[in-house]
Amino acid sequence: MSYRDTYEAWLASSALSEAEKAELEGIRGDDKEIESRFFSQLEFGTAGLRGTMGAGLYRMNIHVIRHATQAFAEVILAEGPEASARGVAVCFDCRNNSDLFAREAARVMAGNGIPVRLFESLRPTPELSFAVREYGCIAGINVTASHNPKEYNGYKVYWQDGAQLPPKHADEVAKKMRELDVFACVKTMDYDQAVAEGKIVLMGRETDEKFLAHSMAQVNDRAVVEKVADTFKMVYTPFHGTGYQLIPEALGRLGMKHVICVPEQMVIDGNFPTVVSPNPENPEGFALAVELAKEHGADFILGSDPDADRVGIMVNTGGGEYKVISGNQTGVLLLDYLIGAMKRAGKLPPNPVALKTIVTTEMARKVAEVNGLTCYDTFTGFKFLAEKKDALEGSGQGNVIMAYEESYGYMLGSFVRDKDAVTAAVALTEMAAWYFDQGMTLYDALLALYEKYGYYAERTMNLVMPGLDGLKKMAALMSGLREQPPAEIAGVAVLQQKDYKDGGVVNVADGGRSAMELSGSNVLRYEMADGTSLIVRPSGTEPKVKVYILANGKTKDEADGKVAKYAVWAESLKG
């Protein structure tokens, strides 16, 4: 069917409410808008679904949620009766419609005879990963769009290990979605009946307590927090999201006496009224927190994104001003601290390992190797970090003490298989308290690490390409780089061209070819003669191509200069 035919079919469907039909009738004269909503269905990938909310096949709404859940249910049922009887855990965040979408997903699972554990109210994403593992579920569903703008929502799916769905199963769900009619195929069950019959069981405080117990077990130096608790102050913001309860509670259990929460942002609100974007990567979102920190003389600021899987920090530079510490820098600080703290506490395991993604700073590798750890790379996304952790620990090759990616995600311990802002908040606060006891801010600590390990600088360029034309531009950019791979960038020779799609490596000087361990992802990487790494990767969740610049130098100015030079090249790729 054409997008026009699909549009008319939706309008004629009895499944739509009057409000939904009115919304679609309102765009009847706008062919471009109709095409954007009905040219295709939202693509189901290993991260599930994500898109703007509204009526239509290429939008997030209850019909798309039910359709995806029916497809997922059939994949689960194909695993056999024992597997499906283990049930599915369902969680949701603070976004508009998240609770509605979660309940609809639960109704469809129950309608297919698959038992559901549904959180009674919004919870952090890592608690969903934990619940899947803790209760032995076959799978999990989380309704969240993480840090995306308020217009978005998403549907993330997990498998029995608590990590996001493996590519094999994601492909099966996507195939089912193509085969099944979006309306006619769906089996549902009345919500109240499902609860009464025990087919939907609500989770609450008992699961929180189990999760927090594991989170607090990651603490290495409670004594240093107790030592400085009377004078050490911090500001926390959940950006209107799910961290608002568990993170302050966890910090209190750590021993913190002065956790000053931003009152306006402790209010749950899917419209995120106090920020342009609820993303801890955006410094402007911390404006209210900075005001509060200055008022109270706080030592650092911590913010978790709406679904509380990512966390960002700002630190007092010593003069009452607060500086953003990037995800790359935060991870390096935390890795270096954990190695030392675990050694002091006698908790560093044999064969210790650090994990990072291919787009994360190479300084993490330097920190790991100088301290006797092995550092492995994975593709971007915690499902790959989780997969690598399980592979290493399952084979006895190593014990992972930390896994992280540059976009503010950190995984500690073995009780979750996703990024975890709750546990990371505890670890970061413990670290800040330890440096405070040494008479240092985290900014001082970062500068000391540069002196010890060398100067590194990173920048992520977001080449935004919205709309249908944007998808074509993104594809054209990647194909163009493959068809005419650059031998020189910004006047510097390319030593190696790496294509993670097929795992191929080309040495530019002699044309020699070899293969990498990693393959199967639409990512290109260039190793430059000046030691810089450049990575080009289309986003899997947003209409943009990301260019990562990973540089180093003998001085800060040298490293920063390389970043600035390559940023000009990156900007030129947008055309």
Positions marked active-site: 146
If we measure between CA atoms, which residue out of 520, 551, 514 comes closest to residue 535? 551
Residues in the chain: 575
Rounded distance between C-alpha atoms, residue 319 and residue 211, angstroms: 38
**Beta carbons of 299 and 233 less than 8 angstroms apart:** yes
Rounded distance between C-alpha atoms, residue 303 and residue 285, angstroms: 9
What are the b/e assignments for 39-70, b being 16+ CB within 10 Å?
A: eebbebbbbbbbbbbbbbbbbbbbbbbbbbbb
Rounded distance between C-alpha atoms, residue 425 and residue 436, angstroms: 16
Q: Which two tokens stand for residue 534?
A: 């450049």
Which amino acid belongs to residue 351? N
**Among positive and negative, which fits the CA dihedral 2, 3, 5, 9?**
positive
Residue 418 CB burial class (10 angstroms; 0-12, 13-18, ≥19):
buried
Which amino acid belongs to residue 234? M
Residue 403: what are its φ and ψ, rounded to 5°?
-130, 135
How many Cβ atoms sit within 10 Å of the Cβ of residue 177?
22
Rounded distance between C-alpha atoms, residue 114 and residue 81, angstroms: 9
Sheet holding 399-405, edge to edge: 374-378, 352-357, 399-405, 409-411
Q: Which residue has the tokens 């005001």?
A: 291
Q: Which residue has the tokens 């003490």?
A: 401
If we measure between CA atoms, which residue out of 496, 528, 532 comes closest to residue 514? 496
Helix, coil or strand: residue 483: helix
The half-sphere exposure of 148 on its side-chain side, counting CA atoms within 13 A, is 22
560-561-564-568 Cα dihedral, nearest 10 degrees: -160
Q: Which residues are paired to 159 by β-bridges?
A: 139
What are the b/e assignments for 363-388, b being 16+ CB within 10 Å?
A: bbbbbbeebebbbbbbbbbbbbbbbb
Rounded distance between C-alpha atoms, residue 401 and residue 354, angstroms: 6
Name the helix (H) or strand (E) containing 201. strand 200-203
Return the beta strands (E) in 258-368 as ranges.
Answer: 259-261, 300-304, 311-316, 322-325, 352-357
Residue 202: what are its φ and ψ, rounded to 5°?
-85, 135
Helices 467-483 and 31-38, interaxial angle, to 10°? Answer: 60
- Cα-based angle 358, 361, 365 (whole degrees, multiple of 5): 85
Q: Which two tokens stand for residue 347?
A: 């908790």
Rounded distance between C-alpha atoms, residue 433 and residue 355, angstroms: 25
